[in-house]
Structure 1
Amino acid sequence: MSGNPDDDRLEELRQRKKEQLKQQQQGGDAEREAQQQQAQQAEQQKQAMLKQNLTDGARKRLNTIRMSKPEFAEQAEQQVLALAQSGRVQGRIDEDQMKEILRELKPDSQSFNINRR
């Protein structure tokens, strides 16, 4: 450089800052990967529990609902998992029981009255 100690010191500080930023970025990538891996494991556990607690017909019905209403299907899955974890389900949930669970979760439809004058 110019031989000035202040310039050398400034350049050294810039290099350190660049290295710190690289390390932070790499650390953030590793953290994101860990979060993704953790989410994937949780999803696998959830699917395993659903497979264990639902019959084929009930799983098929849930998958059909997932195609049209993903949020509602997620809500139904959470309900099934809660029932299974609390021990309120004996055996596996069949299609008729799944229909009943879905009916309970379905919000009441609002009716509209139209008055003509």
Structure 2
Amino acid sequence: MDDLEEIRRRKLMELQAQRQKELEELAQQQEMARRIEEQKKAILKAILEPEARERLTRLKLAHPDIAEAVEAQLIALAQSGRLRSKITDEMLKEILRRAMPKKRETKIIRK
């Protein structure tokens, strides 16, 4: 009986240690994601005028996938040094027009 209890106790300790390790890894991943998000915000703040930044924030609420793609594109342009000046609201509108998927026209035919 003592051997069985010892095995159970060891197994429980192993599971607890494994769970603790998983929690630590998760915390590290969350911290890394937070840092990346802060860096993205800092870059976008530097390359976008306030109106354009506000428009992008609103777009993120309505279409997060498109906003993420545009943010990634803008950050890549900034990091490659191809941006000469801050992006205005009008410039962002044009970028968004190109990035937005074409809308399909629905026709209803009655017979």
- Note whether the superposition's TM-score is higher than 0.5: yes
Work out the number of aligned pairs and report it.
111
In structure 2, how many angstroms separate the alpha carbons of the residues matched to 1:8 and 1:114? 78
Q: TM-score, normalization: structure 1?
A: 0.85
Q: CA deviation at 1:70?
A: 2.1
CA gap 1:116/1:24 in 2 versus in 1, 3 angstroms: same
- Residues 1:69 and 2:63 aligned together: yes
Deviations 1:64-99 (A, max 9, x none): 212322222222211211221222211211111111
- Matched to 1:39, the amino acid is A
Equivalent-residue separation in structure 1 for 2:6 and 2:107 (angstroms): 76
The reply to whether residue 24 of structure 1 matches residue 24 of structure 2 is no
Q: Give the % identical residues.
A: 41
Max radius of gyration: which structure?
1
User: Structure 1, unaligned stretches of length 5 or more?
Assistant: 1-6
3-state SS of paired residue (1:109): coil
| 5+ residue gaps, structure 2 | none
Do structure 1's residue 14 and structure 2's residue 5 form an aligned pair?
no
RMSD: 1.5
Equivalent in 36, 47, 53 of residue 53 of structure 1: 47
What is the CA–CA distance in structure 2 between the aligned matches of 1:113 and 1:14, rounded to whole Å?
68
